[in-house]
């Protein structure tokens, strides 16, 4: 059997240009020595204008430094390096308008070349578009940690952030407070106006509380008409003022859902993190206890349960 004929130079060029994913030859200093494949504008921008340029000329300094670092890691290890990163057209100068508008997530596979390019060590960097799978991953995370009705965080997410906040309190002395609240006379909304109205009341309340909360606050719906807010970095005075605004806001938002003499409002329980707490269960128990006291006192008020000393 005869040996297959070798590819010609033009055939090799055609093969390289037809590679489905963009493939870069990058030198150790970050210069684009060659750019192959990745011509489908549905998934990639045309990067041919980058040829001969340096990464530092076309990327912001932080990203350029990251790319050069990964090139050198692959050269040092002499093993394929796999990384994930995000790029948009705004990150890269000289990219034409054609191509995806939204940021693109890539999986980069980086391998050292066994020959130098103009005296420099170089790597082959294959960039695969993984945006679709990344978005699906983010959607699954959101579905697992976000309440479907209100869009607030759910109980699962609250437990996660409580654990992290407790760690920060114990090790970094970062103050934190857990607020637990529910709706007084919520049953009268469902019974008098119907469950769709009850759902609408919860959505309106969630929207108002989210607008009231600060950037370091986590607003969560635990289920039914039960909510919690984890506040971090706030002073005791600020927590008191915030809690009063919360009660006022709840009363105002829920007023349209009043039926007869039963006026819906909020009852609130407050538990500041304490060094006597052995875990987040202690904090949650104190917040629930303070909420219970507010309910037994007639509702539309707040209470603080101090830590056991």
Model confidence at 133, pLDDT cuts 50, 70, 90, reads confident
Listed residue (241, 162, 161, 254) closest to 207, CA to CA: 254
Q: Are residues 181 and 85 in the same domain?
A: no
Q: What is the pLDDT of residues 25-68, one digit of tens each?
A: 999 999 999 988 877 666 666 777 788 899 998 888 888 999 99
Q: What is the pLDDT of residues 264-297, one digit of tens each?
A: 999 999 999 999 999 999 999 999 999 999 999 9
Whether 2 is covered by a domain: the verdict is no
DSSP conformational letter for 156: H
CB of 96 within 8 A of CB of 49? yes
Q: Are residues 177 and 156 in the same domain?
A: yes
Q: Is 217 designated active site? A: no
CA 39 to chain CA centroid, nearest Å? 31
pTM of the predicted model, to two decimals?
0.63
Q: Are residues 160 and 288 in the same domain?
A: yes
Q: Are residues 161 and 121 in the same domain?
A: no
Q: Are residues 161 and 124 in the same domain?
A: no
Number of domains comprising the chain: 2
Whether 59 is covered by a domain: the verdict is yes
From 225, 238, 277, 288, active-site residue: 225
Listed residue (56, 21, 16) closest to 38, CA to CA: 21
Q: Are residues 133 and 152 in the same domain?
A: no
Whether 127 is covered by a domain: the verdict is yes
Show the domain range for 37: 9-137
Last residue of a domain, one of 102, 137, 172: 137
Least confidently predicted of 55-59, 170-174, 235-239: 55-59
Listed residue (306, 206, 300, 214) closest to 258, CA to CA: 300
Last residue of a domain, one of 137, 167, 197: 137
CATH code of residue 52: 3.30.450.20
Whether 4 is covered by a domain: the verdict is no
Contacts of 260 (CB under 8 A, 6+ apart): 188, 192
Q: Are residues 164 and 279 in the same domain?
A: yes
pLDDT greater than 70 at residue 88: yes
């Amino acid at each position: 059997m005869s040996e297959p004929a070798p590819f010609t130079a033009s055939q090799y060029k055609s093969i390289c240009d037809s590679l489905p994913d963009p493939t870069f030859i990058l030198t150790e200093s970050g210069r684009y020595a060659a750019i192959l494949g990745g011509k489908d504008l549905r998934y990639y921008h045309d990067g041919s204008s980058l040829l001969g340029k340096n990464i530092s000329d076309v990327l912001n300094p932080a990203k350029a430094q990251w790319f050069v670092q990964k090139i050198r890691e692959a050269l040092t290890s002499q093993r394929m390096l796999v990384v994930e990163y995000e790029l948009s057209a705004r990150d890269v100068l000289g990219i034409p308008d054609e191509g995806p508008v939204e940021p693109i997530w890539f999986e980069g596979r980086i391998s050292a070349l066994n020959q130098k390019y103009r005296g420099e060590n170089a790597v082959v960097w294959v960039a695969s578009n993984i945006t679709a799978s990344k978005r699906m991953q983010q959607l699954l995370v959101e579905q697992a940690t976000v309440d479907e009705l209100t869009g607030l965080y759910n109980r699962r997410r609250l437990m996660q952030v409580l654990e992290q906040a407790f760690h920060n309190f114990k090790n970094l002395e970062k103050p934190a407070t857990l607020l637990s609240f529910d709706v007084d006379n919520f049953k009268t909304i469902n019974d008098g106006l119907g469950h769709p109205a009850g759902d609408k009341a919860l959505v309106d309340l969630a929207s108002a509380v989210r607008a009231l909360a600060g950037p370091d606050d986590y607003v969560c719906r635990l289920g039914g008409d039960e909510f919690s807010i984890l506040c971090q970095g706030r002073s005791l005075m600020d927590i008191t003022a915030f809690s009063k605004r919360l009660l006022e806001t709840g009363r105002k938002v829920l007023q349209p859902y009043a039926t007869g003499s039963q006026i819906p409002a909020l009852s609130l329980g407050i538990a500041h993190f304490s060094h006597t707490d052995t875990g987040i269960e202690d904090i949650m128990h104190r917040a629930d206890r303070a909420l219970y006291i507010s309910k037994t006192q007639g509702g539309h008020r707040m209470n603080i349960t101090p830590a056991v000393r």
